[in-house]
Amino acid sequence: MRDNKSVVTTAGKVFFDTNILVYSADAKNPQKQLIAASLLEKASIEKTGLISTQSLQEFYNAATKKLKLTKQAAKEYVELFSKQFPVKEISIPLILNAVDISIKHKLSFWDSLIISTANETGCVVVYSEDMNNGQIIDGTKILNPFAN
């Protein structure tokens, strides 16, 4: 198993894509669950983590469909995450900026919205399994904590 300390090497604010939240609740994948939970715990303790309303909505959907959690259990996770981290609400300017990012960098709209929100909140890193590991977009670096 990987040393989790090597995963968390960033200074500054970090933004969590939905997949990190999902893996933290995924008992079927204990290695990824441990890595995700460690990242979330460290950011919570250091008060460096942020999430968005998009991440919470997508988490609820994935938790009830992919993880097969009950709706009540998924709601409790959403409540936990929203108490653990500041939550940025998605606004029209964030959406318009996401469209620009999507066009410029050829990313999906939803990934671009994560980047847009991370940029707006001053995050230096976005933790995500779904985007290009190591890519820097408008000053925010994407890191895949599960990459080998």
pLDDT for residue 10: 54
> Could you report the per-residue pLDDT of 2-28, keeping only the tens digit for each?
333 334 445 699 999 999 999 999 999
Over range 77-83, report the average pLDDT: 98
> Could you report the per-residue pLDDT of 21-70, keeping only the tens digit for each?
999 999 999 999 999 999 999 999 999 999 999 999 999 999 999 999 99
- Cβ neighbours of residue 24 closer than 8 Å, sequence gap 6 or more: 33, 36, 37, 40
pLDDT for residue 1: 31
Q: Rounded CA gap, 96 and 54, in Å?
A: 15
Q: Rounded CA gap, 85 and 77, in Å?
A: 12
Q: In the beta sheet, which residues pair with residue 52?
A: 88
pLDDT for residue 125: 97
Q: Rounded CA gap, 82 and 52, in Å?
A: 9
* Mean pLDDT for the chain overall: 92
pLDDT for residue 2: 33
100 pLDDT band (50/70/90 cuts)?
A: very high
pLDDT above 90 as % of the chain: 89
104 pLDDT band (50/70/90 cuts)?
A: very high
Task: Select from 109, 147, 144, 113 the least CA-distant residue to 129.
Answer: 144
What is the maximum alpha-carbon separation in the chain?
A: 42
Sign of CA dihedral 8, 13, 18, 24: positive
Q: Are 131 and 19 in contact (CB under 8 A)?
A: no
What's at 105, amino acid-wise?
H
Q: Are 28 and 19 in contact (CB under 8 A)?
A: no
pLDDT for residue 11: 66
pTM of the model: 0.89
